[in-house]
Amino acid sequence: MTIRTRFAPSPTGYLHVGGARTALFSWLYARKHGGQFILRIEDTDLERSTAESVNAILEGMTWLGLEYDEGPFYQTHRFDRYKEVIDQLLKQGDAYYCYCSKEELEDMRELQRANKEKPRYDGRCRDLSAVREGVQPVIRFKNPTEGSVVVNDVIRGEVEFKNSELDDLIIARPDGSPTYNLTVVVDDLDMELTHVIRGDDHLNNSPRQINIIKALGAEPPVFAHVPMILGDDGARLSKRHGAVSVMSYRDEGYLPEALLNYLVRLGWSHGDQEIFTLDEMIQLFDIEDVNKAASSFNTDKLLWLNQQYIKNSEPEHVAHHLSWHMGQLGIDPAQGPELSSVVKLQQERAKTLVEMAANSRFFYQAVTDYDEKAARKNLTVNSVELLQDMQARLSALQEWQAEEIHDHIKACAEAAEVGMGKVAQPIRVAITGNTVSPPLDVTLELLGRERTLSAVTAAIEWIKDHAEDQS
Ligand code: GLU
């Protein structure tokens, strides 16, 4: 049997991290078993579904690298097929028209509440043959009235539902459009899905879906209902807790692998291993090992993972993602050193790509503003001589190489009888505008002679212009 899994989001917003984790689990399971992973857009709610949201979902999936083997399938393209199945259910007596008005249903529920019964549709149109003129009926599924349905869930075990608790659900609205439980069943069967991995907010739908599947003479897929993700206060993860959309993690400077690694560990573990390559995830992940209990989102841990990934990934890979952030800052990475060389210098020290991009701006754009505190301390009248000396030494340098640059900084410090830092800091401020950079010699090598010298000249000019303020 070929394993076929799916991710079936409703396009009513962005791709939520909870949805992304469900997609990841489905993707991993399919990949592990050499199966197929399908993307299905559940867009039948025409009022809430938007094209922007479809794009946001596709963009999120692409950014995460969760490539699908089939799809995206759109439910709105499949109305004819749903109608066919609804007709079949009507014909075989497993569905019926219901003419009850809103008021009737309300009265029914009122009475049930008064009798301390659970409000539910009582099936009064089940055996009704008379058509009510002028009323557009809904179509309801004839749920079995006796016995029970067992959802054999690989995460939760057997969950039993009494049929007497499930009323006859509406499968088509008055305008004939199909409802969620019907479309999911038809698609899951037509798309030959073997495993339905989804959020546990759908657990209560599963017995209803199983009953429809059985009425259609088919076998239910294997179900796995993934527990939800909580915020640090124990409430369901929502905007209130910070970023919940996958793309906002890109915006905040996370690498997709770091987010995937973080998500796979939410509710699943393999010993005490924290870092997993994608291949390891595919090999080690099993849906059966997912925890029953909800797990809490911990941003500090995600940040730590991101730092690990930035530090240990191939510079070219990090550069690929960093270039987007440079673009956000209005920087064209073609106007300076190769981005991967910049990454090599920066990857030890950045927690996020946003931070790395900001700290790498000076490689591509001359500094126009110095940090006030850094300038006050380092670009003083006293540092002019040092800067001029360094300028002369660097201009005379034969090979523009880190080692030689280092030797000249040292020589300059010795000549002035000061520590290396006294020479390095003013240069650092001159080229970066601030006091933080990778080691100066390699930084200058990468920045190049021309940019370095013009930054030092600009700093000397600046000091002269501001000499009066300082005195
Ligand atoms: N479209 C549903 C949702 O976004 C998921 C349906 C399913 O996975 O069965 O919540």
The pLDDT tens digits for 287-328 are: 999 999 999 999 999 999 999 999 999 999 999 999 999 999
Q: CA-to-CA distance for 368 and 319, rounded, in angstroms?
A: 25
pLDDT at 232: 83
Same domain, 469 and 370: yes
Determine, yes or no, domain membership for 335.
no
Q: Is the CB of 185 under 6 A from ligand 1?
A: no
For ligand 1, atom 6, name the residue with the nearest CA.
Answer: 8
CA of 58 to the centre of ligand 1 (A): 16
Tokens 């190049």 label which residue? 448
CA of 243 to the centre of ligand 1 (A): 21
Indicate which residue of 239, 311, 373, 464 is catalytic: 239
From 123, 153, 172, the end of a domain falls on 172
Q: Is the CB of 16 under 6 A from ligand 1?
A: no
Q: Is the CB of 11 under 6 A from ligand 1?
A: no
CA of 198 to the centre of ligand 1 (A): 7
Same domain, 64 and 105: no
CA of 76 to the centre of ligand 1 (A): 15
Q: Is the CB of 221 under 6 A from ligand 1?
A: no
Same domain, 90 and 145: yes
- Please count the structural domains in the chain: 3
How confident is residue 166, by pLDDT bands cut at 50, 70 and 90?
very high
Structure tokens that stand for 330 in this block: 């209005």
**Tens digit of each residue's pLDDT (9 = 90 or more) over 104-135:** 999 999 999 999 998 999 999 998 767 888 89
Same domain, 58 and 137: no
Q: Let me know: does 96 contact 137? Beta carbons within 8 Å.
A: no
Q: Domain range holding 373?
A: 366-471
What CATH number is given to the structural domain containing 211?
3.40.50.620
Tally the residues of the chain: 471
What is the end-to-end Cα distance of the chain in Å, rounded?
A: 83
Does position 469 have pLDDT exceeding 70, yes or no? no
CA of 10 to the centre of ligand 1 (A): 6
pLDDT at 206: 98
Render the burial of 295-309: b for 16+ CB within 10 Å, e for the rest.
Answer: bebeeeebbebbbbb
Determine, yes or no, domain membership for 326.
no
Q: Is the CB of 205 under 6 A from ligand 1?
A: no
From 103, 137, 172, the end of a domain falls on 172
Q: Is the CB of 9 under 6 A from ligand 1?
A: yes
pLDDT at 125: 94
CA of 195 to the centre of ligand 1 (A): 14
Q: CA-to-CA distance for 265 and 276, rounded, in angstroms?
A: 9
The distance between the two most distant Cα atoms of the chain, rounded to a whole number of Å, is 106
Same domain, 91 and 220: no
From 213, 230, 247, the end of a domain falls on 230
Does position 355 have pLDDT exceeding 90, yes or no? yes
Reported as half-sphere exposure (CB side, CA atoms, 13 A), residue 438 has a value of 23
Mean pLDDT in residue range 51-76: 97
What CATH number is given to the structural domain containing 115?
3.90.800.10
Determine, yes or no, domain membership for 461.
yes
Determine, yes or no, domain membership for 250.
no
pLDDT at 209: 98
Mean pLDDT in residue range 141-149: 97
Q: Is the CB of 188 under 6 A from ligand 1?
A: no
What CATH number is given to the structural domain containing 377?
1.10.10.350
**Tens digit of each residue's pLDDT (9 = 90 or more) over 379-388:** 999 999 999 9
Does position 468 have pLDDT exceeding 70, yes or no? no
- Out of 22, 202, 213, mutate this one to test ligand 1's pocket (max ligand atoms within 8 Å of CB): namely 202
Determine, yes or no, domain membership for 297.
no
- Out of 5, 54, 183, 198, mutate this one to test ligand 1's pocket (max ligand atoms within 8 Å of CB): namely 198
Does position 471 have pLDDT exceeding 80, yes or no? no
Closest among 162, 184, 160 to 171, alpha carbons compared: 184
Q: Is the CB of 42 under 6 A from ligand 1?
A: yes
239 is catalytic: yes
Determine, yes or no, domain membership for 61.
yes
How confident is residue 99, by pLDDT bands cut at 50, 70 and 90?
very high
**Tens digit of each residue's pLDDT (9 = 90 or more) over 238-272:** 888 877 899 999 999 999 999 999 999 999 999 99
Determine, yes or no, domain membership for 217.
yes
Same domain, 55 and 149: no
Q: What are phi and psi of 250, to 5 degrees?
A: -60, -50
Task: Read off the pTM.
Answer: 0.93
pLDDT at 127: 87
Same domain, 94 and 226: no
Atom of ligand 1 nearest to the CA of 19: 4
Determine, yes or no, domain membership for 239.
no
**Tens digit of each residue's pLDDT (9 = 90 or more) over 216-225:** 999 999 999 9
Task: Label residue 392 exposed, middle or buried (CB < 10 Å: 0-12, 13-18, 19+).
Answer: exposed
Same domain, 93 and 151: yes
Q: Let me know: does 148 contact 180? Beta carbons within 8 Å.
A: no
Classify 196 as helix, strand or coil: strand
Q: CA-to-CA distance for 384 and 463, rounded, in angstroms?
A: 7
Classify 45 as helix, strand or coil: coil
Same domain, 468 and 374: yes
Q: Is the CB of 426 under 6 A from ligand 1?
A: no
Same domain, 434 and 464: yes
For ligand 1, atom 7, name the residue with the nearest CA.
Answer: 8
Same domain, 155 and 56: no
How confident is residue 10, by pLDDT bands cut at 50, 70 and 90?
very high
Mean pLDDT in residue range 341-359: 97
Same domain, 164 and 30: no
Most confident listed range (120-129, 274-283, 459-468)? 274-283
Percent of the chain's residues with pLDDT above 70? 99
pLDDT at 470: 58
Atom of ligand 1 nearest to the CA of 42: 1
Q: Is the CB of 184 under 6 A from ligand 1?
A: yes
Mean pLDDT rounded to a whole number for the chain: 95
